[in-house]
Structure 1
Amino acid sequence: MGTPTRTTCAVVGGGPAGLFLGLLLARAGVDVTVLEKHADFLRDFRGDTVHPSTMTLLDELGLWPEFSQLPWKPIERASVILDAGEAPVADLSRLRQPHPFIAMVPQWHLLDLLARAAAAEPGFTLLRRARVDGTISSRGRVTGVRWTDADGGTHELTADLVVACDGRDSVLRTGSGLPLRDFRVPMDVWWFRLPRGDQQDPAGALARVSGGRMVILLDRGDHYQVAYLLPAGDDAQRRSVPVTELQEALRELHPWLGDRVRGVRAWDDVKLLRVALNRLHRWSAPGLLCIGDAAHAMSPVGGVGINLAVQDAVAAARFLAPVLRVAAPDPAAVDRAAVRVHRRRWWPVAITQGGQRIAHRTVIRAALSGRGSGTRMPWGLRVVARLPFLQAIPARLVGVGALPEHAPAFARRPG
């Protein structure tokens, strides 16, 4: 089969949003091509969380039996340890959901699952090692993309619609000129792994705040995925000291880790996430739609970025499929459908980002300044501890979100 030069919908980026959208549109009978710049999905991802609403989607798409066989670890509860003691924060097991937990699963497994399911549809094409360099335009309308293959060969793919799912550093969004609103963030995040010990080690998600430091442990079964928060812009300065200082800080925060802090052997083991929080004022231009991180970069607070991107993809498929699966899509109808995606999804994004901004101001800034770890437990945490049913509120905000989307009828399959 030769390299395609024409498709109905070109989806740029083979992450969760891009592959969910490609799968759903293909099941609607739309000719769709996903362009992914890497050769495979075997990479370390920070976002390895699959939320209850996403697992409900997998149910509806008939993919739960296959997903259930993947090596995932459920997280049901989140708590925080201050100098005043430990307090519960969220309990996902209280959710009235088919899968009331967050599944920690290597993201490449999820992406492979979606790619296999999409490949079973006759109208789906996945181009790997396809680096998209920009768009093709005609008379003020995006009409396709230019891309480069692994050998340096350049190609053009024309399309009735291009959907940017290429992340928070989206090439297509940057080239579109769509106005972007940025919000200030107080922190960056170091990501690394530490070995997990026996059954006595804490399970679930655990935040520790003390002395101007905040570290979050996510239980992955055989190891912890660790997020160590630091003030924005402090990475270079903090790496100027031996990595043993990080080890000692971890041991002070969690003495039970013991020698396992040596799992961070060198600074190369510590990956930096420069936190961004922003969203587009408009998600679309003629012939172009941005969704997921390309439309709204999320803070890591709550780990909701992937969930929101997937919900965007489902909403996009619902509005786009009827206008794209016809023999000759009407450009005006396609653009109206893209605007409907923005109108549907902007407010749950704005609500979620508003909650993240509040958390930045009231929790993270206090924690990193040393004001969030006093010897007295904050009243809010005391109330949640005394009234456990309240733990379902943050669990729903994180696990389900403000506007969960459900698979359209054309995409559903029996499980």
Structure 2
Amino acid sequence: MEKTGCAVVGGGPAGMMLGLLLARAGVQVTVLEKHADFLRDFRGDTVHPSTIRLIDELGLGEEFRRLPQSRLSNVAFPVPGGPPVTMGDFDALRPPYNYVAMMPQWDFLNFLADAAAQESAFTLLMRHAATGLVRNGGRVRGIRLRTPDGTEDELLADLVIATDGRHSTLRSAAGLAPKEYPVPFDAWWFRLPRYPSEHGQVAGVVPVFGHGEALLALFRNDYYQMGYLAPKGTDARIRAEGLERFRQRIAALRPDLADRMDAIASLDDLHWLDVRMDRLRSWHINGLLCIGDAAHAMSPAGGVGINLAIQDAVAAAECLAPALLRGRVSVEDLAKVERRRRMPTVVVQTVQRVLHHVLFAPIMTGKRSGIPAALLYVARRVPAVRSIVPRFIAFGPRPEHAPAFARRAEPRAQPHA
């Protein structure tokens, strides 16, 4: 049986960022990740300006920018018979935080893991799955876990933080039940190749809408990451219709990509995401705090989930590091984190719910096959929208800055001998 200052369960963006920040504060922190590596496709792959700025404040900006990535500069909606209407132009923001970085999440997580490994207080345990909570005297004292060889063990901690996602094991073990909100669609992710002639800077994302369906294309260096949206609960029907019918759906929505449908070799190439939106009524109990998707599952609308989770991690590190260094974390300390992050969560989820109601629900039910005229009018006639929307997506309602204890200067380039 081992003991640590803080046990962080879940090696996603929130867990890895939290581990790095706490370790830089001198807190003994152990991050547990149940998988053997971070190579899981079709996760949140958008790194927004709020996170890029945070990385710069941590002194890691140059290394981050060397990672393979593309830059998203705007979000636009298609208009039949005319040019797309831009809803969010990130070029309107002040450089260098005027774009969204698009990169595979495993590259980002490996980057954070490498940075955290430089801190002596940090430990990362891969292939360690949390199975439950250790309780004593009305307080969570640690976690039960399964090691790589299948052995059951315990890890004691002054505090446990659950960053294990929307299906959080620890959230369930604590008896914390979220309030769920209806979502009108699910998503099926897959890849299509990009030809060499199509490579280059990414200008933006333009979704395509049909009757009861929609399609997104996110640009990668040598492929498109495609997201097909259809009404919730239709996964079984889509698969029953077969591969060829699915290819026909995609080709009809994007005729310019029809020449590469054979890249969808089987229905196993489709990665179904059961889209959920929920929020815990309380994010903590004595000795345990939930953040990120474990506290509030987000819709993919706006691609803000990963960045909101990272903002949670920053707030948690700043609020809790002093108490963890003392070895005494109170319920009030945990409530302080929740109070600080609840408002941004409510605001973002409210905007997503409005988008679901106004935009996605009518399309998924077949009542509309395009953007509402009122929304297009506002985008065209109200210039402020083109600055407000990108700032909201880029930074959110309450962006966090790196705590003073975690900041480092960028390393200086060594002179040549």
TM-score by length of 1: 0.94
1:379: which partner in 2? Answer: 374
**Residue type at the aligned position of 2:377:** R
State how far apart, in whole Å, the 2-side matches of 1:264 and 1:381 are.
Answer: 34
Indicate which of 102, 105, 113 corresponds to 2:103. Answer: 105
Matched, 1:26 2:29: no
Runs of 4+ in 1 over 4 A off after TM superposition: 200-203, 386-389
Counting matched residue pairs gives 407
Matched, 1:401 2:396: yes
State how far apart, in whole Å, the 1-side matches of 2:369 and 2:112 are.
Answer: 42
State how far apart, in whole Å, the 1-side matches of 2:259 and 2:117 are.
Answer: 46
Deviation at 1:203, TM superposition (A): 4.2
2:114: which partner in 1? Answer: 116
The question of whether the paired residues in 2 share the 8 Å contact of 1:210 and 1:373 is answered with yes
State how far apart, in whole Å, the 2-side matches of 1:377 and 1:304 are.
Answer: 23
**Residue type at the aligned position of 1:268:** D
SS at 1:303's partner residue? coil
Indicate which of 90, 93, 102 corresponds to 1:92. Answer: 90
**Residue type at the aligned position of 1:105:** M
Matched, 1:56 2:46: no
SS at 1:19's partner residue? helix
1:186: which partner in 2? Answer: 184
State how far apart, in whole Å, the 2-side matches of 1:200 and 1:8 are.
Answer: 47
The question of whether the paired residues in 2 share the 8 Å contact of 1:75 and 1:204 is answered with yes
Deviation at 1:206, TM superposition (A): 1.4
The question of whether the paired residues in 2 share the 8 Å contact of 1:193 and 1:264 is answered with yes
Name whichever of 317-326 and 195-204 sits farther off.
195-204
Unaligned runs of 5+ in 1: none
Deviation at 1:369, TM superposition (A): 2.3
The question of whether the paired residues in 2 share the 8 Å contact of 1:206 and 1:218 is answered with no
Name whichever of 294-303 and 94-103 sits farther off.
94-103
Deviation at 1:99, TM superposition (A): 2.1
Indicate which of 121, 130, 133 corresponds to 2:131. Answer: 133
State how far apart, in whole Å, the 1-side matches of 2:118 and 2:380 are.
Answer: 49
Matched, 1:17 2:24: no
Q: Deviations over 1:127-168 (max 9, x none)?
A: 111011011000111000011111111111100100000000
Name whichever of 316-325 and 38-47 sits farther off.
38-47
The question of whether the paired residues in 2 share the 8 Å contact of 1:82 and 1:210 is answered with no
Deviation at 1:46, TM superposition (A): 2.2
Indicate which of 372, 385, 391 corresponds to 1:390. Answer: 385
SS at 1:239's partner residue? helix
1:314: which partner in 2? Answer: 314
Note the aligned Cα RMSD (angstroms): 1.7
Indicate which of 316, 340, 361 corresponds to 1:365. Answer: 361
Deviation at 1:83, TM superposition (A): 3.6
**Residue type at the aligned position of 1:288:** L
Deviation at 1:394, TM superposition (A): 1.6
How high is the sequence identity, in percent, across the aligned residues? Answer: 49
Change (3 A) 1:39 1:223: same
**Residue type at the aligned position of 2:352:** Q
Change (3 A) 1:291 1:377: closer
Q: Deviations over 1:163-205 (max 9, x none)?
A: 0000000000011112311111111111111112334998421
The question of whether the paired residues in 2 share the 8 Å contact of 1:82 and 1:209 is answered with no
**Residue type at the aligned position of 1:286:** N
Deviation at 1:90, TM superposition (A): 1.2
**Residue type at the aligned position of 2:380:** A
SS at 2:41's partner residue? coil
2:409: which partner in 1? Answer: 414
The question of whether the paired residues in 2 share the 8 Å contact of 1:367 and 1:373 is answered with yes
2:283: which partner in 1? Answer: 283
State how far apart, in whole Å, the 2-side matches of 1:350 and 1:262 are.
Answer: 42
Deviation at 1:377, TM superposition (A): 6.6
SS at 1:364's partner residue? helix
Change (3 A) 1:357 1:305: same
Q: Deviations over 1:23-52 (max 9, x none)?
A: 101111111111111111122132111001
State how far apart, in whole Å, the 2-side matches of 1:88 and 1:150 are.
Answer: 49
1:162: which partner in 2? Answer: 160
Unaligned runs of 5+ in 2: 411-417
The question of whether the paired residues in 1 share the 8 Å contact of 2:183 and 2:275 is answered with yes
State how far apart, in whole Å, the 2-side matches of 1:29 and 1:214 are.
Answer: 47
Deviation at 1:111, TM superposition (A): 0.8
Deviation at 1:84, TM superposition (A): 5.3
Deviation at 1:5, TM superposition (A): 0.1
**Residue type at the aligned position of 2:251:** R
Matched, 1:340 2:336: yes
State how far apart, in whole Å, the 2-side matches of 1:296 and 1:371 are.
Answer: 30
Q: Deviations over 1:267-291 (max 9, x none)?
A: 1111100011000011110000000
Deviation at 1:227, TM superposition (A): 1.1
SS at 1:349's partner residue? helix
The question of whether the paired residues in 1 share the 8 Å contact of 2:213 and 2:231 is answered with no
